[in-house]
Amino acid sequence: MLLADFGTSYTKLFTMAEESEPRIVPTRELDPAFMADLATGHNAKRRGRESVNELIALAKGGRRLIAEPDAVLLDCGSRDIKFIRYQDFEVADMGWNAECGASMGFTIELLESYYNIDYTTVAVPETGFSVTCGVLGMSNIFDAVVTGSSETEAVAKFVRGIARNAFRFAGSPDRLYLSGGLCDNPLFLGCFPCVVIPLGRFVLLEGLKEHLRSKESH
Amino acid sequence: MQKIIGIVGIPPLEIIRQINEEQGKIVDLDEPQLPLSMNRETHLPQVYCAILRTVMLNAMNMPLDRVYIDVGPGKCDCALHVATVLQNFLTIPIITTRNRDSEGFGYPICRSNLPLLEKLQAITQGVQSCKPSPDYPPSVPTAGFWGVPPRDFSLLSLFPDSTHVYGWSRCMENKTPADMELESSCNPAVPTVFFAQSFCAKTALAKHLAERHPKGLYVDCDVNAGSSVRAKIEAFLELSRDAASAVPAASTASTDNGSPGDDHAAG
């Protein structure tokens, strides 16, 4: 049974009963005919024999990984952001922003390679740009560079703006569980004005496992 | 020759009665009537209520004899301004009304077990008549849809048939579009999607009610319901169903909001 989280930029794969750890493959490197048995993510309906809604996978995956009854889980993907708020172990609120949250993760990765920045060495800035989305925020970087900021400083302020925007989208919690590839970006994590607990990139795969488990138990 | 009369919002019943008596053909300009792209509408800002942009698109491209636009508390201020724009562009009479009808006709469709899409189609169609809705037996709700009939009816197909309708749509069926108390009422015992068109003043009420509702989800969308809106609704309904099935039947809320037969939540 092959499980897959078909993200916009990266696909996370896990073969039940065969693998101990999931694999990550750039989505653009997948064979066009590649299919999974159970899928979630942007391309799930096209590439999955059975698909699970991303928010449902996130909610179920988060529930498997988070022990607290009340918690907020934020998933920052390449093209969108999603959050789940749990209360008494149940989903109390949720959100999915594919418009104003557009291209956040994608833009942060794009800037990393364009400006040749190593995010592990960049200090968290004290101030940031007001960034609504990845696309609209880009001009702030160019303006800052023109007025004397270093490229690294400008990108750091941009990343801070994106993190603050995602934080507000999730309801400005005191503690935030984070999911997605940006869990590996220390600058991004450091820009949140709250306690951040990174859960890594495989929360949606955990949701697929939970989906299977609940199907089997019925 | 039969007159073709456009309506926007819900004109007072007296106006509908007059049109029916003269056997005029009523066209609801709030709904898409023409196979034209929204880009063809250029007189309103692009960032504006999709329903009123649809009104403009219809009114500017249909052979109408006159138009009634409700601009009172039963519709919105934006309709008032759209009326001004139409008055400046069209030569036919554009008549503004302020519907304060207060006699309730009931809302059996809202509480029925019809598919939600059919419910909203019947409710919007009912605006063209002075008669109450046909009687439907009330169903036990498992979900709620609060709001106006959406620009994109396809999002209604995501809901179960046992969805009850609240908000302005319920006011429409009741023929009291300015009844704020009825518009604000909902059932706290059923998971409810609070929907408003993006850029509509009702987004404030929808968000407010969703925040106060124990199981509410606020959703807004513009011209079409995109994948994220659809996924949000789908996930909300499925997760609410899962949560309800996980709760022992004895502890599941069953609320009576005072209307016999109405709005008992399924356990």
Q: Which residues contact B3 (CB under 8 A, 6 or more apart)?
A: B22, B24, B25, B65, B66
Q: How far is B183 from chain A (nearest CA, A)?
A: 23
| Contact list, A53 vs chain B (CB under 8 Å) | 231, 234-235, 238
Q: How high does pLDDT run on average in chain B?
A: 90
Cβ–Cβ under 8 Å, residues A173 and A166: no
Residue A182's closest CA among A32, A78, A37, A59? A78
Which tens digits make up the pLDDT trace of A18-42?
Answer: 878 999 999 999 999 999 999 999 8
Beta bridge partners of B27: B6
Count Cβ neighbours within 10 Å for each residue of B4-26 and write b for 16 or more, e otherwise. bbbbbbbbbbebbeebeeeebeb
Q: Does the distance separating the beta carbons of A99 and B235 come in below 8 Å?
A: no
Which tens digits make up the pLDDT trace of B213-230?
Answer: 999 999 999 888 888 889
The domain B4-97: what is its CATH number? 3.40.50.11890
> What is the distance between the alpha carbons of residues A41 and A45, in angstroms, rounded to a whole number?
8
Which tens digits make up the pLDDT trace of B230-245?
Answer: 989 999 999 888 777 7
- Which band of pLDDT confidence, cut at 50, 70 and 90, is reported for residue B254? very low
Mean pLDDT over A189-213 rounds to 96
Regarding predicted confidence, which is higher, B127 or A107? B127
**Tokens read off for A46:** 């096209």
Beta-strand ranges (E) seen in chain A are 2-6, 10-15, 23-26, 36-41, 48-51, 71-76, 81-87, 90-97, 175-179, 195-200
Mean pLDDT over B105-120 rounds to 98
Read off the amino acid at residue B217.
L
* pLDDT for residue B266 is more than 50: no
* pLDDT for residue B256 is more than 60: no
Residue ranges of alpha helices (H) inside chain B are: 13-21, 50-61, 77-89, 116-126, 168-174, 180-184, 202-212, 227-246
The DSSP line for B225-259 is --HHHHHHHHHHHHHHHHHHHHS-GGGS-----SS
Residue A163's closest CA among A105, A79, A216, A96? A105
Q: Which residues contact A27 (CB under 8 A, 6 or more apart)?
A: A6, A7, A8, A9, A10, A11, A43
> Could you tell me the pTM of the whole model?
0.81
The DSSP line for A39-86 is EEETTHHHHEEEE--HHHHHHHHHHHH---SSEEEEEE-SS-EEEEEE
* pLDDT for residue A211 is more than 80: yes
Task: Flag the least confident range among A37-41, A186-190, B77-81, B91-95.
Answer: B77-81
Beta bridge partners of B163: B143
> What is the distance between the alpha carbons of residues A157 and A187, in angstroms, rounded to a whole number?
10
Q: How high does pLDDT run on average in chain A?
A: 91
Phi (first) and psi of residue B259, to 5 degrees: -100, 110
The burial of B246, by beta-carbon neighbours within 10 Å (0-12 exposed, 13-18 middle, 19 or more buried), is given as exposed
* pLDDT for residue A136 is more than 80: no
Which tens digits make up the pLDDT trace of B174-221?
Answer: 999 999 999 999 999 999 999 999 999 999 999 999 999 999 999 999
**Residue A91 CB coordination number (10 Å):** 26
Q: Does the distance separating the beta carbons of B232 and A95 come in below 8 Å?
A: yes
Which tens digits make up the pLDDT trace of A153-188?
Answer: 999 999 999 999 899 999 999 999 999 999 999 999
- Which band of pLDDT confidence, cut at 50, 70 and 90, is reported for residue A93? confident
Beta bridge partners of A74: A83, A178
For CATH 3.40.50.11890, the residue range(s) in chain B are 4-97
| Contact list, A95 vs chain B (CB under 8 Å) | 232
Taking CA atoms, what residue in A is nearest to B193?
Answer: A93
**Tokens read off for A27:** 């989505």
The per-residue pLDDT for A97 is: 79
Q: Does the distance separating the beta carbons of B243 and A91 come in below 8 Å?
A: yes
- Which band of pLDDT confidence, cut at 50, 70 and 90, is reported for residue A99? low
Residue in the block written with tokens 């099935």: B245
> What is the distance between the alpha carbons of residues A77 and A179, in angstroms, rounded to a whole number?
8
- Helix, strand, coil percent content, chain B, rounded in steps of 5: 35, 15, 50
* pLDDT for residue B16 is more than 90: yes
B227 in reach of chain A (CB within 8 A):
yes
- Which band of pLDDT confidence, cut at 50, 70 and 90, is reported for residue B255? very low
B 166-225: CB under 8 A from A: 217
Cβ–Cβ under 8 Å, residues B4 and B27: yes
* pLDDT for residue B86 is more than 90: yes
Residue in the block written with tokens 């999974």: A36
Residue B200's closest CA among B51, B10, B8, B40? B51
**Tokens read off for B222:** 């513009």
Look up residue B178 and give its DSSP letter: T
Cβ–Cβ under 8 Å, residues A133 and A105: no
The per-residue pLDDT for B76 is: 87
Mean pLDDT over B144-172 rounds to 96
Regarding predicted confidence, which is higher, B146 or A133? B146
B235 in reach of chain A (CB within 8 A):
yes
ipTM rounded to 2 decimals:
0.74
The per-residue pLDDT for B263 is: 55
B236 in reach of chain A (CB within 8 A):
yes
